[in-house]
């Protein structure tokens, strides 16, 4: 799984197209916009052309296009000939008449006469039924495409790194999720799964196991009022229990975080996915606090510039108080403080934090000088 939630596989040998047309509406909604717009335009043109051919064929066999029977011809001037459609000069005129009939614009000088009464009645009735049905279907597809919550999922921001640290003699794996949109996610739930390689007989297989996750303060409710830290506790029932960073690399673990809920505006279901591989897990770090109280405005301010900034915490615990099997942690912290591959990322984050602290200190000094 890619970090943006897209799968890392390519589907080949798809089933026959008939499987996709079993649910034609969903198939059309899933198409790209350029195909939907093309289908919208082509569908109307096909209907207009089909009925134009029907009208033209009837007029042709009625001899409406003979020179003497055309509008302004001898037969029409003398009143000896009545065409099926008045002011009909050829296929272009017939096509325009078909468009007017389909769109119920209203007839002007070009209208059906009683000369081809039964044919005209049947064809006009069919056009009046088929054209609105086609318009409603295509507009429904476009509306559904617009109202889908795919874009809403992009309003969720996942931390670039996951962190693993010890707290209250229990180790925690945590990620931070923030909702950048103004509207809220209704009934949000967060689930997690882990993919890792295991040796089965003579071959390695990829297994998939669930991870139990809770909000940071274990309130049981995933409410994205602000950025939320989601935690998995490494208890004996956890698939990650007693695994070192070297085990993570050997098993090539990948943790997938899934956020589901409903949009506030339409109630449509939405889903956002991100994943973290073993090189994205920082041992001995926690997320920096990003919510600060502004006493002047009496509000909490959330600074998303600090969203991915981490702070180092001590993960060393005494042998008597450490959970069984976690004596490797101190070694992991030395060998994989930043998991080597991501050291520059954390150093850069730390540098940003130090620069911000220096700027704040400089601002305080300037204020003190001005006060003097």
C-alpha 230/C-alpha 37 separation (Å) is 41
Pairing of strands 162-167, 170-179: antiparallel
Q: Are 83 and 59 in contact (CB under 8 A)?
A: yes
Q: Is the pLDDT of residue 217 over 50?
A: yes
**CATH number, domain 31-147:** 1.10.287.70
Domain limits, the chain: 31-147, 151-371
Average pLDDT value for residue range 150-169 = 85
| pLDDT computed for residue 339 by the predictor | 40
- For the entire predicted model, the pTM comes to 0.64
**For 50-85, how does the pLDDT look when each residue is reduced to its tens digit (9 = 90+)?**
999 999 999 999 988 898 888 888 888 888 888 999
Instruction: Give the N- to C-terminal CA distance of the chain in Å, as an integer.
Output: 58
pLDDT for 9: 60
For 151-371, CATH gives: 2.60.40.1400
Whether pLDDT at 245 is above 70: yes
- Give the pLDDT confidence score for residue 297 in this predicted structure: 78
- Contact criterion met (CB below 8 Å) for 313 and 165: yes
- How many whole angstroms separate alpha carbon 251 and alpha carbon 204? 9
What percent of the chain is predicted at pLDDT more than 70?
78
């Amino acid at each position: 799984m890619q970090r943006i939630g897209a799968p890392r596989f390519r589907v080949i040998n798809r089933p026959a197209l008939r499987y996709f047309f079993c649910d034609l509406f969903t198939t059309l909604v899933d198409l790209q916009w350029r195909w939907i717009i093309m289908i919208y335009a082509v569908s109307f043109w096909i209907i207009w052309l089909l009925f134009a051919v029907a009208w033209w064929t009837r007029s042709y066999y009625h001899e409406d296009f003979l020179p003497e029977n055309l509008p302004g011809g001898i037969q029409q001037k003398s009143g000896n000939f009545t065409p099926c459609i008045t002011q009909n000069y050829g296929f272009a005129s017939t096509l325009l008449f078909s468009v007017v009939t389909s769109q119920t614009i209203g007839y002007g000088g070009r209208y059906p006469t009683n000369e081809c009464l039964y044919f005209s009645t049947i064809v006009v009735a069919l056009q009046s039924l088929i054209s609105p049905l086609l318009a409603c279907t295509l507009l429904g597809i476009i509306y559904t495409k617009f109202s889908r919550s795919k874009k809403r999922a992009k309003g969720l921001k996942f931390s670039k790194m996951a962190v693993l640290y010890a707290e209250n003699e229990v180790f925690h794996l945590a990620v931070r999720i923030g909702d950048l949109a103004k509207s809220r996610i209704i009934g949000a739930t967060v689930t997690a799964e882990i993919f890792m390689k295991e040796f089965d007989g003579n071959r390695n297989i990829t297994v998939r196991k669930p991870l139990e996750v809770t909000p940071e303060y274990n309130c049981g409710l995933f409410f994205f009022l602000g950025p939320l830290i989601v935690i998995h506790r490494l208890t004996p029932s956890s698939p990650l229990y007693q695994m070192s960073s070297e085990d993570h690399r050997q098993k090539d673990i990948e943790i997938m975080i899934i956020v589901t809920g409903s949009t506030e505006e339409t109630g449509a279901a939405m889903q956002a996915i991100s994943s973290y591989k073993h090189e994205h897990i920082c041992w001995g770090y926690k997320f920096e606090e990003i919510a600060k109280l502004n006493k002047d405005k009496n509000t909490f301010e959330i600074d998303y510039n600090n969203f991915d900034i981490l702070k180092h915490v001590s993960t060393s615990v005494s042998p008597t108080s450490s959970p069984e099997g976690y004596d490797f942690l101190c070694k992991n912290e030395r060998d994989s403080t930043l998991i080597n591959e991501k050291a520059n990322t954390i150093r850069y984050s730390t540098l940003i934090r130090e620069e911000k602290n220096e700027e704040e200190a400089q601002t305080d000094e300037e204020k003190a000088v001005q006060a003097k």
